[in-house]
Amino acid sequence: MSYSFVQTSSSRGGSGISSRLSSGGPQVAHRAASVHGGHGGSGISASSTRMVSSGFSSGGGFSSGGGFSSGGGFGSGFGGGYGGGYGGSFGGGFGCGFGGGSGGADILLTGNEKQTMQNLNDRLANYLDKVRVLEESNTDLEHKIREWYEKQAAQPGSIGGRDYSHYYKIIEELRDKIFAATNDNAKTVLEIDNARLAADDFRLKFENEQALRQSVEADINGLRRVLDELTLARTDLEMQIESLKEELAYLKKNHEEEMGELGNQVSGQISVEMDAAPGVDLNKVLNEMRDQYEQLTEKNRKDAETWYFTQSEQLQSEVKTNVEQVQTSKTEITELRRTVQGLEIELQSQLSMKAGLEANLSEIECRYANQLVQMQSVISSLEAQLADLRSDMERQNHEYKVLMDIKTHLEQEISMYRQLIEGHDAQITVGGSGGKGGSGTSTTTKITTTKEERRF
């Protein structure tokens, strides 16, 4: 967008100055009146200023100042940002005013020029107020951002204006508790492993002792069968002895009966033979036979007694040995039974301890799982707050950059308007000097300022 400022100075019977501000482009045209005071006081001429606005709205602020004849100039000027460049303070925008001199004549405004100038004055005032408010907001935001950065630099443990340092101690305590619980868990697992190994060892010992017990019971059953066989053999031998005794008694009885019969027969024969011729000596023969039978009987008796005593001694020795073995086996079985009972009791205690440790381990795991879930929720909330703070910081930073861009654009526009006003002031000065001469010459000065379009 380009602006051209044309200043025309003329003199007719007195000093009169007319100014015209024109802008290219088929836009809305505002016709503003400019009042100039004559130098010699002979007359005041009012000429109109035609201002064409192309997409740019400006507020207005008409301030009074002296006319050219009384040595005044532009009454109001740039405020705030330029620190009184033209007498005022620039509070965030652009402001200027055309002043009329009081040379003793009346000010004449024709048509709608007064209303147009009033509208321009109001628009310029609104624009200045808007720029002032934006600069105040920008200053406030800069102050807040500076305080925030100073606070962040002073408090390294705080994030987004919030102090999270008291959470560090809680986090450290929870970390220590987790570490201690991990150690306790490892110790518990180690104890469980030791108990499991001990239980396996006791199980192996129990199985070995049970196998030994079964073998001893098998031996005992075998010895019982042997004992039964020996008892049967003893009973058989006793029966044989009884039968032999009965047979011996029967033989003795038969022998006595036979001896009695033979004696009777011999006595009868003797009485018969006394009458007969002498024969064989039967008594001698009987005595010999008796001796032979007695010797045979004694031999059989001695042999039977010897065999009986020998078998009895063998059986007694075997029975004694077997009884000793049975007693030893019973003692061993009793000791093994006591050992097995002790091992079973110890196994039950180990199993109960294992069940208690497993229940304790499950409880500890559940408790610390709940604590971990709570810590994860706290961490998630803190991360969400941190993300919100970061997004807020980015938004404020973006707004700050936008405001800085607006400020830069406004400063550039203010600089442009300043150049326009300075050019206008120079043209007015040139026109005023021409009016003093009272000549009919006309001077036209054209100042062109080019400004690129900017996007807000």
Q: Positive or negative CA dihedral for 225, 231, 235, 241?
A: positive
Length of the chain: 456
User: Of 88, 113, 104, which is closest to residue 19 (Cα–Cα)?
Assistant: 113
One-letter amino acid for residue 196 of the chain: R
Domain layout of the chain by residue ranges: 2-155+413-450
Name the pairing type of β-strands 15-23 and 162-163.
unpaired
* Tokens found for residue 168: 């560090």
Do residues 21 and 53 touch, judged by C-beta distance below 8 A?
Answer: no
pLDDT score recorded for residue 29: 35
The CA distance from 435 to 425, in Å, is 15
The pLDDT tens digits of the residues spanning 409-427 come to: 998 988 888 888 888 777 7
246 conformational bin, left if phi > 0, alpha if psi -120 to 50, beta if neither: alpha
Got the DSSP string for 330-363?
HHHHHHHHHHHHHHHHHHHHHHHHHHHHHHHHHH
Tens digit of each residue's pLDDT (9 = 90 or more) over 16-50: 333 333 333 333 333 333 333 333 333 333 333 33
In the numeric block, which tokens belong to residue 79?
């405020």
335-356 pLDDT, tens digit per residue, is: 888 888 888 888 888 888 888 8
Residue 327 — pLDDT band, cuts 50, 70, 90? Answer: confident
- What is the C-alpha radius of gyration for the chain, rounded to an integer number of angstroms? 73
Q: Is the pLDDT of residue 111 over 60?
A: no
pLDDT tens for each residue of 310-322: 888 888 888 888 8
Residue with tokens 């002790």: 342
pLDDT for residue 322: 80
Residue 268: pLDDT band by 50, 70, 90 thresholds? Answer: low
Q: Give residue for tokens 């500076």.
A: 146
- 456 Cβ contact list (under 8 Å, min separation 6): 405, 406, 409
As given in the structure block, the two tokens for residue 363 are 């409880």
Spell out where 162-274 has E strands.
162-163
- Residue 104's pLDDT is 37
Q: Give dist(CA 410, CA 130) in Å, integer.
A: 11
Instruction: Measure the CA–CA gap between 432 and 423, rounded to whole angstroms.
Output: 14
Amino acid of residue 330? K
Q: Which among 125, 14, 24 has a CA at the least distance from the CA of 446?
A: 24
Looking at residues 99-126, what average pLDDT do you find?
64
Outline where DSSP puts E strands in 12-161: 15-23, 28-35, 46-53, 158-159
**Lowest-confidence segment of 69-83, 101-115, 342-356 by average pLDDT:** 69-83
Give backbone dihedrals phi and psi of 31, rounded to 5 degrees, phi first.
Answer: -105, 115
The DSSP bridge partners found for residue 31 are 50
